[in-house]
Structure 1
Amino acid sequence: MELKVGDTIPNFRAKDTNGIDFDSATVVGHKPLVIYFYPKDNTPGCTAQACSFRDQYEDFKDLGAEVIGISSDSVGSHQKFAKQFKLPFILLSDSDKKIRKLFGVPTGMFGLLPGRVTYVTDKNGVVQMIFDSMLATKHIPKALEAIKKLV
């Protein structure tokens, strides 16, 4: 099943960059969220996307929103990625792809790559925007514009 605009984000748990258990209930329903799924740490597109979110992270925070990046990379990979590029936001390890399946994130490039999809939710956890595009850096302005409309 694929999440659609108007759906409420389901609860999920995963290990964060520090190997600590993250429970979505701590943020869903409390503040607007930008949850973005990306294929892989340290690849050109994913690095550009993460760095763009990093560069505009304060803009999201100023609007009361939190940014969460999710891929199937390990906690160790996320630690290196976050440290190397000074990523200030939450990265979650979805190694068993359960969260990706829960959201119904499609695969890209004829099923060869995990999809790159960004979800924006309001403070009640209701999906307000879904942006599905392999064009990595296009996600940040779309997400910021959607958050601005919510505030």
Structure 2
Amino acid sequence: MAAKPSERLAELGYSLPEVVRPLAAYLPAKRVGELVYTAGQLPVRDGALLATGKVGAAVSPGDAAELARICALNALAAVDSIVGIDQIVQVVKVVGFVASAPGFNGQPGVVNGASELLGEIFGEAGAHARSAVGVSELPLDAPVEVELIVEVR
């Protein structure tokens, strides 16, 4: 029998953080039927934004990919707060936004940080559709933002 997502997280050395408080008038996650949609999650840990600036200038693509992993963990925490991470049947879609310096076009590699983490946690059920979008600005000058859509029991 495959390990539960919560067990797999622990095996990988991760734990879910506290749900990041919304910056404005929205919910961190919302369930609609068998889907949970998360708000865009920034690379916040213990209430602090871990980096600022544009990827390809102030933030390296490798560092941004690690930040995308943190965003994905924050999104999973938002899902967990509604239904519990072990109720996730599959990851349906990931949308990653990358604050990009002029000429930077490595957004897919950055968002791979989130995608690869989801694959490590959920295996085949972590395979998902995805968008990796370069933008000029993100809230609080964050370098990356990730949102998820997951199917739940």
Computing the radius of gyration from Cα coordinates, the structure with the larger value is 2
Normalized against structure 2, the TM-score is what?
A: 0.31
